[in-house]
Amino acid sequence: MPLPGTPFDPLGEDHLREECGVFGVIGVADAASFVALGLHALQHRGQEAGGIVTYEPDGGFHQARRMGYVRDSFTSREVMETLPGSLGIGHVRYSTSGDKGPAVIRNVQPFFGEFALGGAAIAHNGNLTNAESLRRELIERGAIFQSSSDTEVIIHLMARSMGRSLVDRMEDALRRVEGAFSVVAMTRTKLVGCRDPLGIRPLVLGRLGQGWVLASETCALDIVGAEFLREVEPGEMVVITAEAGPQGHFPFRPQKPRFCIFEHVYFSRPDSLIGGRSVYETREAIGRELAREAPVEADLVCPVPDSGTPAAIGYAAQSGIPFGLGIVRNQYVGRTFIEPTEQIRNMGVRLKLNVNRALVRGRRVVLVDDSVVRGTTSRKIKDMILDAGAAEVHFRIASPPTAWPCFYGVDTPSRDKLLAASMTEEEMRAHLGVDSLRFISLDGLYRAVGEAQGRDPDNPRYCDACFSGDYPIAPSDRIAKTLKASQAAE
């Protein structure tokens, strides 16, 4: 049962959850309102909870953390008046680490700490692969943790650093962590953004009048009217003051970037830009490539809304098969059914998706979706299409088979729950009960995102571990657990 105030998502059991979203602003009046708008634009990246921290000289730091959607938590005058100041950061989350049940308020970011040099707050998108070992070390040295989030590890590492400034201490802390991180942080006078050396998670810089903005995606700049300047580079730390503006430097050993390729497929909003290219256009190109690789005789190309829509448009354009909205999404199910009864829960995907019967009846339908994880939702959608009178159902998937879990900030099921980890493509087709099933190849996905020669196995440009099992950063905690279990068994 979802926590009161959080949405019930009937598709949640069979979709990858989108890490988290971060936003920060400096040099504008009423910063909290801009942060709330930015978080609203990033709501797709995390829908369990959100938080905002601001600073103003007379009253110091102010913070508010709430469960549920931004629109329900940070739109009332009563809440926003408690967050004065011209400097603020915010965060929306899924529980990719720490608590694995419904989010609890103690794990909601940004996290705030008072240090000898003053206060600082930090919000983090990603996942630290050595957080558990660092946590044990810190607890043995006397640290007391208030949450189960890996982000709090960074706060404790900062507290033990001997750096001369809070920014220096943050650098020291981030040099000790492993994994994926895009961090937005603030002191009394500075807004700080930093990406891990591989740049796995996104972070962008924008200009808002006389102020400055950091955000997970460019769509969050658009909603506040900020000008997109550039992406924060992999391994770069940008320190911004209202007077001097952004100053960037590179505190980590240089490495070849490995940006998460699934940002192109699903996580980022289609109206965002990645690498100077429209996410929408990339997804349409994925659909075109998929049509070239996996043609089929059919009467209708239909997206599984909403994430499959651009790829379906591309598939239809390349194949010449008409495009149609054979499935309609109910945009309001999250608000309507806050605490669903068991009877409502058993309705499953019908709460959120409904078949356009007049369009699909008697037709051979190509369903285009972004991914297949466990396969449970795909089977339900297939049944709905057939119940509406479709003659055939063909699945086309705009990503390669998801066969490996992500350790870098995506809430992926364990490998034994991933359909592609134990089945071939033909076995998955039989399991789903569809007439045909095809995934885009990994080389095809690389071509669609701009790598004309496909994936270079010796030097891949992206992190594609969920498809290939090629992890660019060793999952230290997971390896240690496996080793410990093996030793215990012996």
Q: What are phi and psi of 289, to 5 degrees?
A: -65, -40
User: Alpha-carbon distance 423 to 421, whole Å?
Assistant: 6
* Residue 358 token pair: 């007049």
- Amino acid letter, 195: R
User: Alpha-carbon distance 142 to 113, whole Å?
Assistant: 16
DSSP 338: S
Which helix or strand (DSSP H or E) is residue 380 part of? helix 376-387
Angle at 299 between CA 316 and CA 310, to 5 degrees: 25
pLDDT at 416: 86
Q: Where in the chain is the domain with CATH 3.60.20.10?
A: 12-258
* CATH architecture label of 12-258: 4-Layer Sandwich (3.60)
- Give the least confident one: 237-246, 317-326, 328-337, 429-438: 328-337
Q: What are phi and psi of 24, to 5 degrees?
A: -150, 150
3-state secondary structure of 142: coil
28-58 pLDDT, tens digit each: 999 999 999 999 999 999 999 999 999 999 9
Q: What is the DSSP string of 168-208?
A: HHHHHHHHH--EEEEEEEE-SS-EEEEE-TT--S--EEEEE
User: Alpha-carbon distance 436 to 171, whole Å?
Assistant: 51
110-130 pLDDT, tens digit each: 999 999 999 999 999 999 999
**Cα-based distances in Å from 205 to 230, 280, 289, 477:** 6, 21, 32, 32
pLDDT at 5: 36
Q: Where in the chain is the domain with CATH 3.40.50.2020?
A: 282-466
121: Cβ contacts below 8 Å, ≥ 6 apart: 53, 61, 63, 89, 110, 111, 112, 113, 185, 186
Q: Which residue's structure tokens are 């911004």?
A: 240
**Cα-based distances in Å from 44 to 21, 181, 341:** 8, 18, 25
The mean pLDDT value for 6-13 works out to 43
381-403 pLDDT, tens digit each: 999 999 999 999 999 999 999 99
pLDDT at 480: 59
pLDDT at 347: 61
The terminus-to-terminus CA distance of the chain in angstroms comes to 40
User: Alpha-carbon distance 248 to 235, whole Å?
Assistant: 10
pLDDT category at 158 given cuts 50, 70, 90 is very high
The mean pLDDT value for 212-230 works out to 98
The mean pLDDT value for 141-155 works out to 94
- Amino acid letter, 10: P
pLDDT at 101: 47
* Residue 69 token pair: 């959607």
Active site residue 20: yes
* Residue 152 token pair: 């709090």
Catalytic residue among 20, 219, 302, 466: 20
pLDDT at 159 over 70: yes
Q: What is the pTM of this model?
A: 0.90
Q: What are phi and psi of 75, to 5 degrees?
A: -120, -15
Best-predicted range by mean pLDDT (14-23, 189-198, 350-359, 473-482): 189-198
Fold of the 282-466 domain? Rossmann fold (3.40.50)
* Residue 246 token pair: 């952004």
Q: Could you tell me what percent of the chain has a pLDDT over 90?
A: 81
pLDDT at 1 over 50: no
251-290 pLDDT, tens digit each: 999 999 999 999 999 999 999 999 999 999 999 999 999 9
* Residue 468 token pair: 């290939």
